[in-house]
Each structure stands twice: as structure tokens, then as C-alpha cells.
Amino acid sequence: MDTPEETTTERLRLDGAVFVLRLTRRPSPLGLLALHGGVEGGTAELAEEVAARTGATCLTFTQPATPRVHISSHLLAEAPSRTLETFVSVVSLTVSLHGHLRPAAPDAIFLGGTNREAAEVLAEALRTLTPSFTPVTDLTDIPPGLRGLHPRNPVNLTREGGVQVELPLTARTRGLRDVPPEEVVAGVTEGVRRLAISRR
């Protein structure tokens, strides 16, 4: 039997930029989030694919118009949004996907956010299934701007907080296409599945 789901969209204007929010609700306590779809290429696509494979709820923010702008995650939470409020109310643990361009760490997947136990679960799955990349969970080894610890960051607004996954360019795109490599899709998918099992 197919997993029941419901999809809604919302347009949101913030600091002159227009965002389209797409929420697909499924009966799972886990949620995938991508706040910078298009700006951080491949993150929205990865969130949607992992959510579909695991039966998780998914919320993506995309900007249909160019030039696209990067707005800090905690500022996105300050804009009035029914869709984000719904996501926070129905999800207990969030996995938020972002992109980084740190030349000193081209293969590092940084796992921040306030739920450190969940970060370790995701990291273990990535170590097994994503050998081309190195998951980093020690907050002292994660650049301050990528730690995802701001209390108003949407990744931390759900009941159990969440994990902010910062992916290098090659972990979320293939060539000029915003298509994540299959090993990354598989690694994040397995991590989300393990998180779901641990909450049963």
C-alpha cells in the first residue's frame, strides 16, 4: 500500500526575495528540510528523494526568480509561514540539508545541529555508505558558521531538535546538474532509516 501523503505550497516574501515553500506530509516523526533550494544546489533534490525513500515529511524552500539570495536560516524562521509552522508541529526530529564551499574541506560532510546523538547515527551511516566523503561530528572541528546551533534555526525548532548536514559541492551535484550522487542519497537515506527505527 502506498504511503499516504499530502502536498501543499506557499509563497513567502522576505527581504525582497520570493520563496516557494513545498511541504509533503507523511505519517513519520522525521522531517527532511532544505532551506536554500537552488542557492545551495542539490539540497532540495536530496531532501525530496530521501524523504520519498523513507516515508519522511519534507519541506523545501526554493526561489523561482533570479538572482537568488542566501538568507540565514534563523531569519527564515522569523517570517510568518503557515507551512513552516505545520512542519514544526508534525515533525519531532529534523534533518536539514545545506551546502558548503569550504576549499579547505572539499570532502567533509559537517553534521551540526542540537541533536548530537542523531548526528552520530547519521555519521555512522555515511561512513559506511559514502566512502568518498568524511562525516565530521565534533563541533570544534566544524566551522562556526556551519554548526547550526542558533536556537531559531528551523533545524532546532522541532521537539527533538535536529541535525544540520552541510554538504560539499560534489556531494550534492553532478557536473552542472543539481543531482546528488547515489552514494550520498543512499547514505543519508540509511541514516534517516536508522533514526526512524531508534524511535519506534
Domains of the chain by residue range: 6-198
* Residues 137, 91 contacting (CB under 8 angstroms): no
- CATH architecture, range 6-198: 3-Layer(aba) Sandwich (3.40)
pLDDT, average across residues 174-199: 95
Asked if residue 1 has pLDDT above 70, the reply is no
Could you give the CA distance from residue 47 to residue 69 in angstroms, rounded to a whole number? 20
Give the Cβ contact number of residue 141 at 10 Å.
Answer: 10
pLDDT, average across residues 102-106: 96
* Residues 57, 90 contacting (CB under 8 angstroms): yes
Query: Would you place residue 169 in the very low, low, confident or very high pLDDT band (cuts 50, 70, 90)?
Result: very high
Give 12-33 pLDDT, tens digit per residue: 998 888 999 999 999 999 999 9
Give the Cβ contact number of residue 45 at 10 Å.
Answer: 21
Could you give the CA distance from residue 179 to residue 156 in angstroms, rounded to a whole number? 27
Peptide bond just before 180 cis, omega within 30 deg: no
pLDDT, average across residues 156-171: 98
